[in-house]
Amino acid sequence: MRRSFISESAGEEEGAIDLTPMLDVVFIMLIFFIVTATFIKESGVEVNRPEASTANQKDDTTVLIAISADNSIWMDKRRIDIRSVKANVERLHAENPEGGVVIQADELASVKTFTSVLDSARQVVGNSKVSLSTTSK
């Protein structure tokens, strides 16, 4: 009886599947997808951007500011006051000084709000790195 017990346990060890290589491959693939994933920046509110025939793509965006139809200003998915735009742009621009600022203004937003946001952004990053987001005609 003792002999049959030993032979059964030895057979179970030979039939066991080693999952270590499969787990290694899964973790390597997970790390690869995390590193190569692109993250989309969102302002936090949906706006109807105006159309422009001269619209072009900008890839070096660091700060995204949205102005909704009711003139509320959004950055990093939160609503901010117009007086704190400059401080928020400075904070976000410090993370990547080479990037620019893109303002997504709704078609119905007032020019006064847009101009205030534009001036605050230009004081931080300069004239050439601030742009208005539009849709292509």
Q: Which residue has the higher pLDDT, 60 or 36?
A: 36
The percentage of residues in the chain with a pLDDT greater than 70, rounded to a whole number, is 85
| Confidence bin at 83 (pLDDT 50/70/90) | very high
Tell whether the model's pLDDT for residue 137 goes beyond 80: no
Looking at domain 51-136, its CATH class is alpha beta
Least confident of 19-28, 43-52, 83-92, 117-126: 43-52
Q: Which helix (H) or strand (E) holds 120?
A: helix 111-125
Position 42 scores a pLDDT of 67
Q: Whole-number mean pLDDT of the chain?
A: 82
Question: Helix 111-125 and helix 85-95: axis angle, to 10°?
Answer: 40
Domain boundaries, the chain: 2-36, 51-136
Tell whether the model's pLDDT for residue 12 goes beyond 60: no
**Is the dihedral angle over the CA atoms 57, 76, 119, 110 positive or is it negative?**
positive
Which one-letter amino acid corresponds to residue 113? Answer: T
Q: Which helix (H) or strand (E) holds 24?
A: helix 20-36
